[in-house]
Amino acid sequence: MTDNTAPFAHLGLERAIALRWTLRDIKAKRLKLSPVSAGDLNILTELGLIEMRDDVPVLTNAGHAVLD
């Protein structure tokens, strides 16, 4: 897991913004309206910000901390 204060620091600005919006969509359960790409899911899983439960992405405590 990476530092919670800047988990997207190694990414470009546009990519970091897109991933933060993806986290917000996952948190709000808007996945039917805004499907998440497999690549985004992989990155967020590797960063420890989400986990898959019954094939549905769910924020981890670190994921919630990034958005708070």
Delimit the domains of the chain by residue range.
13-67
User: What would the pLDDT profile of 44-56 be if each residue is shown by its tens digit?
Assistant: 999 999 999 999 9
**pLDDT score, position 33:** 84
CATH class of 13-67: mainly alpha
Torsion of CA 9, 12, 13, 15, to 10 degrees: -100
**pLDDT score, position 9:** 86
Residues 1 and 49: their CA atoms lie apart, in Å, by 8
User: What would the pLDDT profile of 2-45 be if each residue is shown by its tens digit?
Assistant: 455 688 889 999 999 999 999 999 999 999 888 899 999 999 99
